[in-house]
Chain A
Amino acid sequence: MRMSVLIALALALGLAHGSHARADVSPKHALLLAKALSYERRLAERKGSSVGIAILYAADNAASKASAQSWLKAFAALGALKVHGVPVEVVTIPFQRERVAELVRARGIDVLLTCEGSPYAMVAALAREHRILSVADTRAGVDNNLSLAVFVHREKPLILINVRAAKAEGAVFSAKLLQLATLL
């Protein structure tokens, strides 16, 4: 009980700090994404020694790159985070289909976190091919068949799930999350 209150307080401060510094990703978003991942049953079953998150960005898009850096920092601010009992490892990579595919195979990536500017359709195809989860940082991503998005909507954090896309990627979300998330 006390933990969740303190975490929420910390996150609120983090958001406040974040909003003063830049209108960008705060540690709360990262924590919310991690929480959403904790309700994905297949991830619980297939994870290895870690949950790998690859943050994808468009190399020729400064805003996309900045967003990726922002996500990286947000995760870093959380310190040693565990999801499904294993550590979360986060890397950034400019989107290039073969390179990302190689990264997925080599590093055991479980989640493709796609920053705006990246080609959503290709990311979705990659996720389905490798049966891993695709995540967006805006609604546009979910509208374009990525599975999940975490963002702020009307000053409140929101989880948006494209259930059909998630199913195509082999993801199985717990009913508890589906009841609280906004579903497409």
Chain B
Amino acid sequence: MPACSRRSWRRAAPRLLVLALIALALEVRPAAAQEGELDIEDVQLDALLERDLDEQLGTTTAVSRKSENVMTAPAAMSILTWEQIRLSGARTVPDLLRWIPGVQVYRNGPGNHVVSLRGTGGLNGNNVVVTINGIAINSPLDASVDWDLVPVHVLDIERIEVVRGPVSTIYGQNAYTGVINIVTREAYGRSTSVAARGELGSDLELGVLGALSGRYASNGESSQVSVLGSGELDGTGRGGVDLDVPSMRRAGVVSHLQVATGRSSHLGVDLCASISERSSLDHLVLESNPQTRALLLGAVHFAAQDISDVLESAEISARSMAHLTETDPSLYQGFSYADTRSNRTAIGADVGFRLAPQLGLTVGAESVLDWVDAPYVNPSANDRIYPGHGAYGTLTYSPFERLHLTLGGRGDLPPATASFELSYRGSVVYEANAWSLRLAAASAYRTPSYVELGGRFVDPATGLILLEGDPDLNSPTNETIELGLIVAPIATLHIMPTIYVSRLRDVIIEDFEPLVRRTFTNDPHARDLLGGELEADWQARDDLGLALNLGTLHWLNADEHETPTVGVPKQSSAVVAGARVHGTLLRERVGYGFGANFASQRVFAVRAGVPPSIIDSDVAAQTHAFAMAEYFLGSDLPLWLSLRVLAALPDAAESPLPAASAGGATAVLGLAYGKE
């Protein structure tokens, strides 16, 4: 072959090869483009960026409070990204959590949700630590979470990270079955981002819903600041048994400031404030009257990285959270949370060492001061300050590039108890290119709440003690072994099954059988739980994604004792499953999403209320369906129009508590301005 022809062949070969392959590929989409044309929409960005599975899954700080790859993290976790959040139709964080495997959500009324993870959480949802940008917002009184006090609008959430399983080695008390971290949105790069939005909606009973929210975020050369605010009125889904279920009114603001103090160090300040009025209905208050709650949170931290060859990171932090509940006791026939105040203040330090290229060590300590003041706490225990302390260490070792071992332990002297709690975590993760396998064992504990330890509920009419705490309660513990797999059979499909066995010991039960004295006790019988979770995400195209979530529970030893307790096994559905589709059209001018989430029937009996009474619950299987669409008007005036329709089927209360209201169907119109 002549030399010039050989040169010509070499020059032409790549183009011919590309065209040949394009031609082959085009056979799959015969109508998409003319012969020889390549539409960029048919090419996936992930493929062009050659993102491996670990890059696609990203990094997280929720599992170990240190940045690590999700693929090799020592615990099962799920992440909802901003796009998935935006196209999920969800209006509240609990609605978002319905799409996480292993999570069950039920709604007592507007703004009143209980979130349960891995079969526990019962009627008060206090087995999960919830953080905003890493700062816990659980109530110091009983570790419950007021989801209406989360001060962030869902569209101002960059990411939700859910760690499933016991995580006390990192978070201390109450990370019993997991941690939920809400990461708020910031500006991209060095820029300023502003957004404002309004929403108006209604349900079939003409209950009104309205919301206003806004965001200002700016990243400068050496500082980042963001302020997010939201306010909402939700009068939807008040129908059902009691049509006088109060609406919810809430307002909240979150601000974050971070200033670089050196080449690799920064100082951060976080402030949160939130106030809400909504129904009082919960497992102790069986009436649905207006109740006001407020949260005030401030945190400061200083962090430095790469301090020396050995000292990889160091952080000191301080935070303080005040929580307040107020209501008009004259509205109640029974117990209410009127006049409840609590505060938790903590200081902590965390240091990371790189002992060798494959060996890392993190040590830390935290001291906590709790203060609770409530009329239903024994006066001898009330209005006092209770200190607590914890210290932890985690060793990470990668003897080979693909093998990662973790061993961690934490010792705590929790506040208000005379006990010493030990928790541990060990994991082995093997990582390949397109899959990783995780075997992990961990323990966690839940400190009995101030109600369970020091409560004294007195009937205002008779002066008799209806329910009393027990200061000698043991902390319930959760020991779990789990096997998890992350696999990408094709680059755009992620499948993440997890199977686990948990042993729950010292579950606190409300021993209301004796009339002589009603108190809390530890169940002497351990409860074993076998569970499975499956998460699958398929990014079929850049503009089309499908997601599936499945969680299943099976209690291995039946509850022989008929004493209904707060955490009875059948309080959670045996099966919770969901599927959703999200995508964009017309080059991202239009966004859409639709899907449904199913929770199987729950039949159980439980004692609730003060004075306690037995509630026989038969909660039918529930399906929550949604459809949403949004339209971007244009860059000259960056406005977004959206319509969300959410429906709960059947139109019946999904909460076992009396006076809970049904969800019904709601349609919401939204208008947003700014870079979304």
Give chain A's interface residues, CB within 8 Å of chain B: 1-11, 13-14, 17-18, 21, 27-28, 31-32, 34-35, 37-39, 41-42, 44-45, 76-85, 156-159, 161-164, 167, 172, 174-180, 183-184
Contacts and interface: CB of A to CB of B under 8 A. Distances in A.
B48 A10 contact: no
B29 A156 contact: no
Nearest to B220: A164
Given A17-B13, A79-B22, 20 more contacts: A3-B25, A4-B43, A4-B491, A7-B43, A7-B47, A14-B14, A17-B14, A41-B588, A41-B634, A76-B15, A79-B15, A80-B34, A80-B36, A85-B39, A85-B587, A164-B189, A172-B638, A175-B82, A179-B81, A183-B189
A116 to B, nearest CB: 22
B206 interface: no
Contact of B22 (A7, A161, A184): A7
A157 B48 contact: yes
B513 to A, nearest CB: 55
A162 B189 CA distance: 7
B243 interface: no
A13 B20 CA distance: 13
Interface in B32-83: 33-34, 36-51, 81-83
B264 interface: no
B161 to A, nearest CB: 15
Contacts of A45: 634-636
Given A28-B48, A82-B33, A175-B83, A1 B190 contact: no
Interface in B516-556: 540, 542
Given A1-B540, A4-B44, A44-B587, A18 B14 contact: yes
30 contacts: A1-B492, A1-B540, A3-B26, A3-B29, A4-B44, A4-B492, A5-B47, A8-B47, A8-B48, A11-B48, A14-B14, A17-B13, A27-B18, A32-B49, A35-B43, A37-B40, A44-B589, A45-B635, A45-B636, A79-B19, A82-B33, A82-B39, A159-B49, A163-B190, A163-B191, A164-B191, A175-B82, A178-B188, A183-B190, A184-B189
B17 interface: yes
B21 interface: yes
Given A10-B22, A28-B48, A184 B42 contact: no
Interface of B: 10, 13-15, 17-19, 21-22, 24-26, 28-29, 33-34, 36-51, 81-83, 187-191, 490-492, 540, 542, 587-589, 632, 634-636, 638, 675-676
Contact of B40 (A27, A81, A177): A81
Given A1-B492, A35-B43, A184 B190 contact: yes
Given A6-B21, A14-B18, A157 B50 contact: yes
B14 A35 contact: no
A145 to B, nearest CB: 11
B587 A84 contact: yes
Contacts of B13: 17
Q: A-side binding surface: helix, strand, loop or mixed?
A: helix
Contacts of B36: 79-80
Contacts of B14: 13-14, 17-18, 27, 77
Given A79-B15, A157-B48, A175-B83, A9 B21 contact: yes
A30 B326 CA distance: 62
Nearest to A78: B38
Given A156-B49, A179-B82, A3 B189 contact: no
A6 B45 contact: no
A157 B589 CA distance: 27
A103 B47 CA distance: 34
B531 to A, nearest CB: 32
A81 B189 CA distance: 30
Given A1-B540, A82-B39, A180 B490 contact: no
Given A10-B18, A13-B14, A77-B18, A82 B49 contact: no
Contacts of A179: 81-82
